[in-house]
Amino acid sequence: SKYEENAKILQGSLSATTKDTTQNIKDAIADFTLQFMNSIDDATENAEKNENKLGDIHSASSSIPEIQEITTWQIVGRDALIAAIKDAIYRVKSSIIIVMPYVIPEILQIISEYAYQKKAVRFMLTSRFEMNTYGDIIRKMMGLGNIQFRQLSGAGEFFALTRDAEEVILGPATEKEGEMISVVSNQTAFSILYSQFIGPIFQANSRPIK
């Protein structure tokens, strides 16, 4: 009958469509698999290249000599110098000598506070003191028993500090910030330089305040 014929035609069409769809899916899966495998191959190749490059970089870096710890550096400006002096005061263990061409009140205050807390630490401060201004302060600080003062015989030109024979700070007294370049060092050679040459010069050009 006509309906049976139409049903057979529809069935055949559906069957053909199903086969085509299945084949298309198989082809798509095959293409995807091929692309995926190619991607894996490319990734593996790139990884091998990168591994070789990393190996070359490691070999090159291994040939570079190790950089030694920096123990001497420069600081610029008055504020940086004062900060370095204050830091050295906070870290002193046994003794500290400070030379200032002029009095910096905040340094006096810190020394007074720290000397009161650390009775075993010895402080020596050399500067150009106006005794009318600082005489009473100096006498009170000397009353702590572990602070000595020295008066420069003339105008000072340098800042200097030595802490525990381990650290040295040297800097010029200049009004121009850009020219106020100080050296901070933990090198033994600088400590020897101070103790044998610089320190005795300041000692010879100053007298104790009693």
Q: Show the 3-state SS of 31-46.
A: HHHHHHHHHHHHHHHH
> What kind and span of H or E run contains 138?
helix 131-142
Which pLDDT score, from 0 to 100, does residue 143 have?
92
C-beta atoms surrounding 156 within 10 Å: 19
SS3 121: coil
The stretches in the chain having pLDDT less than 50 are 67
pLDDT digits (tens, 9 = 90+) for 127-166: 999 999 999 999 999 999 999 999 998 888 899 999 998 8
Question: Is the pTM of the predicted complex or chain greater than 0.75?
Answer: no
Residue 97 to residues 17, 24, 92, 181, 186, Cα–Cα distance (Å) = 99, 91, 10, 20, 15
pLDDT for residue 67: 46
The DSSP output letter for 13 is H
Print burial letters for 29-45: b (CB count within 10 Å at least 16), e (below 16). eeeeeeeeeeeeeeeee
Q: In whole angstroms, give the CA distance from residue 89 to residue 80.
A: 14
Cα gap 63→128, rounded to integer Å: 54
